[in-house]
């Protein structure tokens, strides 16, 4: 075992690797960008080295800076984590050339599996079943469109160098192909530096089942059973579990052997995942699964495999990378119980899952041994727009699938996060969704049930806003009572008014949206007049957090930030007619498709904002003429920032 390890990553995976390295007595070396100076992984490591600017392209993706830090720190090895440079063959090659151990497979193996088209061709030769499609090198748009027609819609466009849903588009009709291809290529180039794509048939009722494999440098290889990652949104995994529901011993054996054959075909060493798409319409079958890709790294969802096998995959990676033999055979491995993992993201499910940023005012997870918490942030940290928006992973392990899901639901219910919006309520809804519980789901489950999973109970948001408004009023009077004042009719807080009516209007902002409420005074204290529709509102068990001039109300995994509007603030105006196009989140203005004076119609794409590795198109909400453009491509823009002003054609 080597004595020192540099982790070329950040966030929860860096913290995860550091914990195992510490247990093994290996000195840990962290790297960080400008915005990660105070990050948890920097705090946990034995030492840390600065890389550069906030953008990954200026820090975590700069090979020379990472190699330089490793050499200056005297690192024996580099663990790439996942994402960033983890599947970069040139990086692995550079490590070897500089005499530093790369904790992962060889550069040749990464290259063989890194380009999806070439990998599928290789798998066909190795006898591994693959999805019908075009995996060649010709990239002309008309040619690819013809191939899509020959394959038959619906089809998937997939970046050959990609992963995590980046550069992937589902196309159901030929008329949408050109725009989807353009978008997929642009996103692939931004994420991976390679805009080549492949075209493949979209499998109906698809289940995403992947096999964790492990191999050493002596030719030994095993699989550590399967994970089901079918609960996805935009091709990104949301909840993962092991073993896969409905899996039989026969299918597990067939999939496992296919995955091991895939690894042996490229002389693989280390941890890897072979991903299959299965036709789930008639249950999992030995002749109903197809190779999609191989991830030549550790996966985000690896903890569920660790929970059912009792193995530490990071320790296994370090031992294999240091030259040790695997030390286990397939017959040594057994499945213990069931494990489920949920990814908590800083995003707003009720607003199209837009990324959310900001200060983590509260970050509280459940205590106890029943739940495993994987996170790379702490209370007081800021979720920035520069990296993946995952805050934490919650991992539950139980004797049965039902028990594991119950434990996960309870853990989510006990988790409190204030600041950025999160998907906790969405994850809770998934955990209790009838179709998911009863094993009636596929990769389209979330899209098919999106309203049930994201829309809050009737009146919940209003009730939360009302609680926040009352707290604002109470705070105002607490401040007033704390000051030295003479009692006058203007300083009393009993709500006195001339006449019989004792009602007062109050305007607030609830998550940035204007709301008008009516208050009344009861025994000298404020209360909200809810109105007759409030009879149907649910009871809200809320936690209120004072944050500067605002109040954050937490209830049932949701949050509402309540504040008073600042009418003097620049840019405060009524935009009910949709004439002002704002950035929906912090990010980068990637492209503009209009100029001043252009006529636009409802639904026209106006611009693209990129944040946290995802593109978001901004559309015109009505007909009009572009009056102003207030930003240019390449600008960093803030949430709510005015980008485009559109006047009606009558103006």
C-beta separation of 307 from 242 below 8 A: yes
Residue 280 to residue 444: CA distance in whole angstroms: 11
C-beta separation of 629 from 592 below 8 A: yes
Write out the two tokens for 466.
Answer: 């009302």
3-class DSSP state for residue 598?
Answer: coil
User: Bridge-partner residues for 209, per DSSP?
Assistant: 228, 276
Q: Which of 16, 297, 343, 461 is catalytic?
A: 297
Write out the two tokens for 415.
Answer: 């988790």
Residue 141 to residue 290: CA distance in whole angstroms: 26
- Give me the sheet containing 221-233, strands edge to edge: 289-295, 270-279, 206-215, 221-233, 236-242, 338-345, 390-398, 371-375
- Among this protein's residues, is 19 annotated catalytic? no
CB atoms within 10 A of CB 321: 25
C-beta separation of 610 from 550 below 8 A: no
DSSP 109: H
DSSP 75: -
Measured CA to CA in angstroms, residue 620 lies from 175, 409, 514, 601, 636 at distances of 21, 39, 22, 7, 21
Residue 312 to residue 317: CA distance in whole angstroms: 9
3-state helix, strand, coil in the chain (%, to 5): 30, 30, 40
**Positions marked active-site:** 297
């Amino acid at each position: 075992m080597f004595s020192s390890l540099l982790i070329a990553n950040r966030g929860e995976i860096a913290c995860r690797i550091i914990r195992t390295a510490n247990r093994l007595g290996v000195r840990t070396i962290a790297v960080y960008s400008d915005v990660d100076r105070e990050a948890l992984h920097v705090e946990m490591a034995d030492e840390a080295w600065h890389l550069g600017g906030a953008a990954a392209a200026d820090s975590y993706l700069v090979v020379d800076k990472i190699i330089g830090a490793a050499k200056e720190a005297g690192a024996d090895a580099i663990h790439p984590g996942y994402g960033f440079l983890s599947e970069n063959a040139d990086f692995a090659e550079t490590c070897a050339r500089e005499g530093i151990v790369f904790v992962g497979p060889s550069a040749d193996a990464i290259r063989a599996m890194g380009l999806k088209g070439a990998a599928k061709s290789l798998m066909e030769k190795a006898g591994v079943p693959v999805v019908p499609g075009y995996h060649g090198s010709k990239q002309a748009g008309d040619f690819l469109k013809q191939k899509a027609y020959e394959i038959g819609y619906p089809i998937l466009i997939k970046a050959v160098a990609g992963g995590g849903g980046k550069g992937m588009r589902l196309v159901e009709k030929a008329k949408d192909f050109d725009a989807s291809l353009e978008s997929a290529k642009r996103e692939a180039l931004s994420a991976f530096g390679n805009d080549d794509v492949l075209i493949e048939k979209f499998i109906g009722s698809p289940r995403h089942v992947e096999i964790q494999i492990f191999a050493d440098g002596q030719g030994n290889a095993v699989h550590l059973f399967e994970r089901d990652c079918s609960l996805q949104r935009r091709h990104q995994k949301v909840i993962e579990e092991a073993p896969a529901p409905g899996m039989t011993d026969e299918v597990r054996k067939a999939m496992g052997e296919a995955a091991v054959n895939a690894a042996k075909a490229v002389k693989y060493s280390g941890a890897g995942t072979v991903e299959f798409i299965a036709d789930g319409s008639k249950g999992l079958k030995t002749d109903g699964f197809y190779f999609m890709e191989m991830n030549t790294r550790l996966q985000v969802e690896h903890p569920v495999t660790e929970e059912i096998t009792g193995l530490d995959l990071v320790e296994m990676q370090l031992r294999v990378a240091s030259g040790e033999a695997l030390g286990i055979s397939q017959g040594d491995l057994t499945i213990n119980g069931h494990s489920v993992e949920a990814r908590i993201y800083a995003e707003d499910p009720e607003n199209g899952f837009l990324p959310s940023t900001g200060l983590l005012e509260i970050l509280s997870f459940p205590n106890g041994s029943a739940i495993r918490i994987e996170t790379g942030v702490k209370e007081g940290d800021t979720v920035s727009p520069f990296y993946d928006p995952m805050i934490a992973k919650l991992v539950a392990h139980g004797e049965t699938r039902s028990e594991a899901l119950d434990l996960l639901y309870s853990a989510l219910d006990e988790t409190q996060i204030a600041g950025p919006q999160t998907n906790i309520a969405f994850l809770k809804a998934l955990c209790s969704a009838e179709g998911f519980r009863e094993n009636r789901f596929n990769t389209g489950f979330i899209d098919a049930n999106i309203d049930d999973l994201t829309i809050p109970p009737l009146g919940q948001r209003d009730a939360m806003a009302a609680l926040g408004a009352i707290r604002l009023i109470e705070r105002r009077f607490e401040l007033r009572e704390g000051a030295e004042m003479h009692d006058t009719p203007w300083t009393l807080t009993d709500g006195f008014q001339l006449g019989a009516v004792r009602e007062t209007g109050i305007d607030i902002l609830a998550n940035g949206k204007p709301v008008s409420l009516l208050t009344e005074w009861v025994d000298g204290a404020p209360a909200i007049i809810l109105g007759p529709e409030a009879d149907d509102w649910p009871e809200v068990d809320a936690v209120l957090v004072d944050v500067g001039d605002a109040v954050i109300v937490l209830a049932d995994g949701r949050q509402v930030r309540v504040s008073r509007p600042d009418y003097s603030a620049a840019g405060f105006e009524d935009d009910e007619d949709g004439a002002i196009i704002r950035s929906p989140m912090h990010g980068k203005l990637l492209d503009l498709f209009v100029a001043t004076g252009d006529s636009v119609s409802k639904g026209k794409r106006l611009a693209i904002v990129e944040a946290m590795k995802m593109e978001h198109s901004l559309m015109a909400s009505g007909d009009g003429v572009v009056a102003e453009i207030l930003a240019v491509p390449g600008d960093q823009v803030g949430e709510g920032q005015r980008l485009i002003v559109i006047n009606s054609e009558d103006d």
